[in-house]
């Protein structure tokens, strides 16, 4: 019987499931809560030098106060483009420039907006759960094929399948915890 490398498969499954959790963290970083965070402006692209550039490549984003973001624009000619990009993003922010410094006050969230953001957070979390389940399905297919090919026994198949299921359950629980924390953060007044 040829040796099926379960450790290699488990490492791959873990890496891919961790990737889904990392994507969720990044998506949640862009979701606005009542507090200012540099990750709020990072996904915004600014038309600069003939192409779209991420905000953090045209200036320094900082948080001088809990409800204020600033962007110190490096090139004076891009200040209006940075302002326009922030204003036209779906974040509902109204920037004001002061020389090469763009100030972005973070308004308090309305109850309606908080509810809307928790729905978006829930969608991101569900997408992450689906990604984890897809990794599990792929791993289970690999195991079934290995069993059919005689690379692993039926008992080994069940043992490995249980391990893959445990990894899946652990990652889904991690996603649920992250999601619950984010929703609580959004709803916090």
Record: fold of 38-105: Gyrase A; domain 2 (3.30.1360)
Question: What's the CA gap between 161 and 144, in Å, rounded?
Answer: 9
**How many residues make up the chain in this entry?**
189
Between CA 105 and CA 141 the distance in angstroms is 51
Is 0.85 surpassed by the pTM of this model? no
State the average pLDDT over residues 88-114.
84
Grade residue 189 by pLDDT with cuts at 50, 70 and 90: low
- 57 in helix, strand or coil? helix
Rounded distance, CA 171 to CA 110, Å? 32
What does the mean pLDDT of the chain come to?
88
Domain ranges of the chain: 8-29+110-187, 38-105
Are the beta carbons of 69 and 38 closer than 8 angstroms?
Answer: yes
Residues 89/106, Cβ–Cβ less than 8 Å: no
pLDDT of residue 2: 47
pLDDT the model gives residue 108: 78
Least confidently predicted of 21-25, 41-45, 50-54? 41-45
Maximal C-alpha separation, the chain: 73
| Nearest CA among 97, 92, 105, 106 for reference residue 59 | 97
pLDDT over 60 (residue 130): yes
How large is the C-alpha radius of gyration of the chain? 23
Question: Is the pLDDT score of 170 beyond 70?
Answer: yes
- Evaluate whether the domain defined by 8-29+110-187 bears CATH number 3.20.20.70: no
């Amino acid at each position: 019987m040829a040796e099926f490398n379960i450790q290699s498969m488990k490492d791959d499954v873990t890496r891919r499931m961790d990737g889904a959790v990392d994507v969720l963290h990044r998506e949640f970083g862009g979701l606005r809560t009542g507090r200012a965070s540099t990750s709020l402006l990072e996904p915004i692209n600014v038309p600069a030098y003939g192409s779209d550039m991420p905000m953090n490549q045209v200036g320094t984003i900082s948080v001088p106060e809990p409800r204020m973001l600033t962007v110190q624009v490096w090139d004076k000619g891009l200040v209006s483009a940075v302002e326009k990009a922030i204003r036209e993003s779906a974040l509902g922010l109204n920037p004001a420039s002061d020389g090469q410094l763009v100030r972005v006050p973070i308004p308090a969230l309305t109850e309606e907006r908080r509810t809307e953001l928790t729905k978006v957070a829930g969608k991101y979390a569900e997408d992450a759960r689906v990604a984890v389940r897809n990794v599990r399905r792929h791993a289970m297919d690999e195991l079934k094929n290995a069993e059919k090919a005689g690379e692993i026994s039926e008992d080994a198949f069940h043992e490995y399948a249980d391990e893959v299921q445990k990894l899946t359950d652990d990652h889904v629980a991690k996603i649920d915890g992250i999601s619950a924390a984010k929703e609580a953060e959004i709803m916090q007044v």
